[in-house]
Amino acid sequence: MTEKSTRLIHHPYRPPAGFESPQVAVHKASTIVFPSVAAIRQRDWIHKQGYTYGLHGTPTTFTLEERIATLEGGRHCILVPSGLASVAHVGLSLLKTGDDVLLPENVYGPSKALAQGELANFGITHQFYDPMDPADLAARIGPRTRLVWLEAPGSVSMEFPPLVALARLCRERGVTSALDTTWPAGIAFNAFELAPGVGVDVVAQALTKYPSGGGDVLMGAVVVRDDALHERLQRTHMRLGWGVSGNDAELVLRSLPSMALRYRAADHSARAIASWLGQREEIAQVLHPAFPGSPGHENWLEVCGADGQAAGLFSVLFDGRYTQAQVDRFCESLQLFKLGYSWASHLSLVVPYEMRTLRRHWEPAGGLVRFSIGLEDTDDLIADLDQALKALG
């Protein structure tokens, strides 16, 4: 080996073994080098016993998968490139032509679009059920029902469904249940043990939200307890070619140790701010599942407990005397709260929603605004809301 180009590629130096530091190393790979032909022939990408190709995992992604499985109270985790991809992955793994999937009427919008788009194109039908009424779900479960999605609370409208009753029903009827756990985040409740003997089969979480917490990473996770179910999900994962970058996995690993503290801090601040808003005459209703009087509060109590936690996310309904233009102006008058989708980062966010574009059966008198509370000082955020409410006119 004389040419420098070759020597730079096939360099003999190996750093000393035994390095340890507080953070997990970033391993990046498409190619993974095998020690022998026998090792190539014996490769096993499904049991996480070794390394075969970048798509099938590196020490960095395996480590993150194990930690997210622990966070959710599950046994197996698969990482995908976004929260929406985790929802898509469950459907693409478990459904086939002729199957029917049931979605709550208030489901995360893009999940609805996936069912109406690609799943429908594949000959997979769907129905929307009333998430607050287990009898409605029971009536819709039929011989073709293969998957029931659950979400708690509902995106934007924040009503908390009777999760225990819904999950129990799925179990009794032998239908696989999947819960979008982006809001509980593995902290507010354990989706696999909602009540003694009652839990869901699959959880999908947008790691984009609390696990990342930075507003700068997109990632999702699918977690299960059952080995056979995991293997089905993993085989589809391999065939679809989803992968996450080592750098992104490292960012989430770096944020995980502070996640419980951030979740609690955002929860405290959000409740203080929501209480303050609830006292204002401009606001008709606060939609926060931990608040008595908010839709499904008793269901939140059932799974989270009286001292339970909640994400730093809530919505308010403005009094009907304010036009949408006024509500929009309120949102734009905010200085610390920024206008933007997603949530659970350090930055507080606000989005005005037009409910008639989201729901069939719900048209509140006043405009709905959703807040994601970040890590700014609570009093500063309240002062910002105060000045923007004054700008309502």
Ligand X SMILES: *Cc1c(COP(=O)(O)O)cnc(C)c1O
Binding site for ligand X (CB under 6 A): 82-84, 108, 155, 180, 182, 206, 208-209, 218, 220, 342
Distance from C-alpha of 31 to C-alpha of 56, rounded to nearest angstrom: 11
Q: Which two tokens stand for residue 95?
A: 């459904």
Please classify residue 138 by burial: count the beta carbons closer than 10 Å to its beta carbon, then call 0-12 exposed, 13-18 middle and 19+ buried. middle
* Residue for token pair 């589809």: 236
Q: Which residues contact 216 (CB under 8 A, 6 or more apart)?
A: 251, 345
Using Cβ positions, the residue closest to ligand X within the complex turns out to be 83
C-beta closer to ligand X: residue 94 or 388: 94
C-beta closer to ligand X: residue 283 or 304: 304
Judge contact between 266 and 375, C-beta under 8 A: yes
C-beta closer to ligand X: residue 284 or 311: 311
Distance from C-alpha of 129 to C-alpha of 109, rounded to nearest angstrom: 15
Per DSSP, the chain holds a count of helices (H) and strands (E) of: 14, 12
Nearest distance, CB of residue 87 and ligand X, angstroms: 6
Nearest distance, CB of residue 381 and ligand X, angstroms: 21
Q: Which two tokens stand for residue 290?
A: 């931990």
Nearest distance, CB of residue 209 and ligand X, angstroms: 6
C-beta closer to ligand X: residue 51 or 189: 189
C-beta closer to ligand X: residue 253 or 284: 253
Nearest distance, CB of residue 108 and ligand X, angstroms: 4
Q: Which two tokens stand for residue 220?
A: 């999702």
Nearest distance, CB of residue 181 and ligand X, angstroms: 8
Nearest distance, CB of residue 221 and ligand X, angstroms: 10
Distance from C-alpha of 146 to C-alpha of 163, rounded to nearest angstrom: 19
C-beta closer to ligand X: residue 82 or 283: 82
Kindly state the DSSP code that residue 118 receives in the 8-state scheme.
I
The total of other beta-carbon atoms located within 10 Å of residue 244's CB is: 26
User: In 3-state terms, what secondary structure has residue 31?
Assistant: strand
Which candidate, 55, 63, 126, places its Cα nearest to that of 95? 126
Nearest distance, CB of residue 256 and ligand X, angstroms: 16
Query: Bridge partners of 128?
Result: 103
C-beta closer to ligand X: residue 178 or 385: 178
